[in-house]
Amino acid sequence: MKCAPFDYVRAASVDEAVTTLSQADGDGKILAGGQSLVPVLALRMARPSVLVDVNRIPGLAGVTPEGDAVRVGALTRHSALVEQTHHPLLADAARWIGHTAIRARGTAGGSIAHADPSAELPVVAVGTGATVTVAGPGGTRQLAAEDLFVGALMTDLAEDEMLTEVRFPLPTRWGFAEFARRHGDFALVMAVAAEVEGTVRVALGGIGAVPVRAEAAERVLAGGGSLREAAAAAAEQLTPTADLHGSAEFRRAIAAEMIRRALTRAGLS
Ligand code: FAD
């Protein structure tokens, strides 16, 4: 199938992108790496009247250390996340995204704005307590990643807002574990364990509409419980979605194992 017709605007600045989106009155879409949007357009699951290409906006790509965090520009490609050394957890997780060609084009901002329930970067964002910067017609605002994801493929972003940067705290200890049928497939379940400012955070992806904190596991660990106890407590709390790829029970069992592995890799006990 071919895309429905659309106007194309190559924005030279964030202001121009946001203004063009505002003028499109809810009928515009940002084009970043195109790895999720283009298939959606080709299948005519979306028919925007205008595409705003943000790829040539200067200053939006790169990973910059800043104190106990890194700032990741929206246009940072997944491959650049794999190659950087400032935030090893991000590098570990980004390795799992699709295949080489997808990592070469797909962007951090696109992945987080697209909010696929089985995508890696949203789970790292929730797992580390990341903050997202968003530009809109009225200026910029910041929000916690946990408040950004509101449903499968749904975020708190307005139709005329653009995500420009994500600030990922740098954990002192971290672990990432993922279960997918084949390497490069979207995850069935993934877990992030991150010690940030002395607190252990555990987040899961692939088990529901949005990334979730495994708060039961966090409580067990804070109370001195073992990794196995933490993983079991988290699994008990979960109500995973069943689909073609696995039953709810299967996902619960895999989630417990992914939590155990992520915590083990983090060296947390
Ligand atoms: P685009 O496709 O350009 O845009 C996606 C959506 O986000 C659009 O609605 C767009 O308007 C919006 N958007 C983009 N940038 C912004 C912004 N800065 N502000 C606001 N809105 C914005 N992803 C994974 O995480 N894990 C995988 O295992 C995985 N496997 C894949 C396998 C295949 C075969 C394919 C085709 C894709 C896969 N992906 C996977 C998706 C890939 O990571 C995409 O790169 C990502 O989902 C979207 O990033 P993008 O830059 O390509 O965004």
Considering the domain architecture, whether residues 40 and 102 belong to the same structural domain is answered as no
The pLDDT tens digits of the residues spanning 58-107 come to 999 999 999 999 999 999 999 999 999 999 999 999 999 999 999 999 99
* Residue 177 phi, psi dihedral angles, 5° rounding: -140, 140
The range of the structural domain enclosing residue 130 comes to: 63-169
Ligand 1 atom nearest to CA at 74: 18
Considering the domain architecture, whether residues 158 and 217 belong to the same structural domain is answered as no
Q: Is this complex's ipTM strictly greater than 0.90?
A: yes
Considering the domain architecture, whether residues 157 and 103 belong to the same structural domain is answered as yes
Residue 136 lies in a domain: yes
8 Å CB contact between 8 and 50: yes
8 Å CB contact between 48 and 24: yes
Reference 54, options 81, 7, 17; nearest CA is: 17
Considering the domain architecture, whether residues 101 and 125 belong to the same structural domain is answered as yes
Considering the domain architecture, whether residues 188 and 233 belong to the same structural domain is answered as yes
Considering the domain architecture, whether residues 87 and 163 belong to the same structural domain is answered as yes
Considering the domain architecture, whether residues 182 and 232 belong to the same structural domain is answered as yes
The pLDDT tens digits of the residues spanning 2-56 come to 899 999 999 999 999 999 999 998 999 999 999 999 999 999 999 999 999 999 9
Prediction pTM value: 0.97
Ligand 1 atom nearest to CA at 39: 36
Ligand 1, residues at Cβ distance < 6 Å: 29-37, 39, 74, 97-98, 102, 106-107, 109-111, 113-114, 116, 119-120, 157, 162-163, 186
Reference 231, options 251, 248, 250, 253; nearest CA is: 253
Ligand 1, atom 8: nearest CA belongs to which residue? 37
Number of domains in the chain: 3
Considering the domain architecture, whether residues 74 and 159 belong to the same structural domain is answered as yes
Considering the domain architecture, whether residues 132 and 163 belong to the same structural domain is answered as yes
